[in-house]
Structure 1
Amino acid sequence: MTAGAYIDAALRDVLPEGVPAFFTAVESAHWRGRGRGRIAVGRLRMFDGQPATVEVWSSGFCTGHRFTEMAGGAASYEGARWVRVADIEKAPPA
């Protein structure tokens, strides 16, 4: 599987049924590392045309992702559409 196909599948898989993807394209992607620890790094075109960079990895049966860059700020699915929202504040460590 290509890094781009892996990113596309992983990001769509986390969405509830009926919710469209928040990105319109994986514009470029590559694998970083080798073996089980490798990470797919991709450049996305978001729902509003802004670019974003994401890292996607697998750990056992779980898949994780994080955005390392997201022009335009955080996004939320509200009123049956994706919108930009004020950055979500992180909770302080317990």
Structure 2
Amino acid sequence: MKFIDNLLDKLFTGNSNRAVIRENFTRSESEEQEVSLWLTGEEGEEVLKMIYDNYHFKRAGINKDPEVHVYHTSYANGFAVTYSQPFNTDTFTKLFLV
């Protein structure tokens, strides 16, 4: 247990001298419109349905690509999606702009 405590102390020290970098995320009106059209279009609906289905498959113990990771602990409650086929850079980026 001491090893874990030492590791966590090194990872999450409150005395960090590193600079905190904060960057506000902004989208142009044309980017918002593009994402809205993608989301309501055939490709956007297919991607969201695939993630939805894979989320429920994962909860049933079935892994499909793209893999969905379900977090349900006292520290985290949510899910993440692995960047893999059938995603490409464009579709994966648009997921974060939705």
When normalised by structure 1's length, the TM-score is: 0.29
> In proportion to residue count, which structure has more strand?
1
Rg comparison, structure with higher value: 2
> In proportion to residue count, which structure has more helix?
2
